[in-house]
Amino acid sequence: MAESDRLAGEYFDAAIELLRQARDDGGPAIAAAGRLIADTVEAGGRVFSFGAGHSSLPAQDTVYRAGGLAIMNLLSVPGVVGVDVRPATLGSALERVDGLAAAVLDTSPLRAGDVLVIISLSGRNALPVEMAMNARALGIKVIGLTSVAYADATSSRHVSGSYLKDHCDLVLDSRIPVGDAELRLPGIDAPFAPASTVVTSAIMQAVVATAAGALAERGVEPPLLRSGNVDGGHEWNGRVMREYADRIFYRQ
């Protein structure tokens, strides 16, 4: 078998090992994050998630998702969420702009008592750091999903010298190695095959699952969405969205 033919299996093995670490080592933090979201839902609060660039993908994956909580909202920052801006490098530049996070929060629906999940692989750029700092100052609970390893191997790009992990009520460590590339091969100078989206998305879904279970344990029906491609799905979702209309912002 050619070396290249083994790469797919090696990638799956690497991703599975990272998922195992997330499950075994990060279980208590994931459970705590799920309970915090359940507390917020039960208290009438709202839940938002934010990520810049590819870190926005796990945030988006929980919004308006079959099998997910209807009250998960995306905090969108034009030019930053996703890679649809042209040129794509503009999004990376905006992550390093001081003051942008304050402007975003001041014009967002977020208020004291809500939860904001901030996803940033490195946690070193000004936008996620200031987003966490400003959110907590407004009385918003912050869950940070990041790779703590970056704080030991890179320098902060925020004037404070701090990282996302330093400004959170709860930190979920993705344990993604610095550089986010799992494979190496002779003849290829750069490491390749990132796994952060796989792992971070799984962590987000585990948090949402925990929140749903915690609500059910308290006798609260979790506001879950069903697939619109199964019979009765649209009717179910319509009922849930009407009941939680004041906490759902992706329909407005």
Domain regions of the chain by residue span: 3-247
Do residues 212 and 65 make contact, with C-beta atoms less than 8 angstroms apart?
A: no
Burial class (CB in 10 A: 0-12, 13-18, 19+), 232: exposed
Instruction: Write down how long the chain is.
Output: 252
Q: What is the mean pLDDT of the chain?
A: 93
- Picking from 126, 137, 117, 133, the residue whose alpha carbon sits closest to that of residue 203 is 117
Identify the three-state secondary structure at position 63.
coil
- The CATH code that applies to domain 3-247 is 3.40.50.10490
Tens-digit pLDDT profile for residues 68-99: 999 999 998 887 776 777 787 777 777 777 78
Considering the entire predicted model, what is its pTM? 0.94
Tens-digit pLDDT profile for residues 2-49: 667 899 999 999 999 999 999 999 999 999 999 999 999 999 999 999
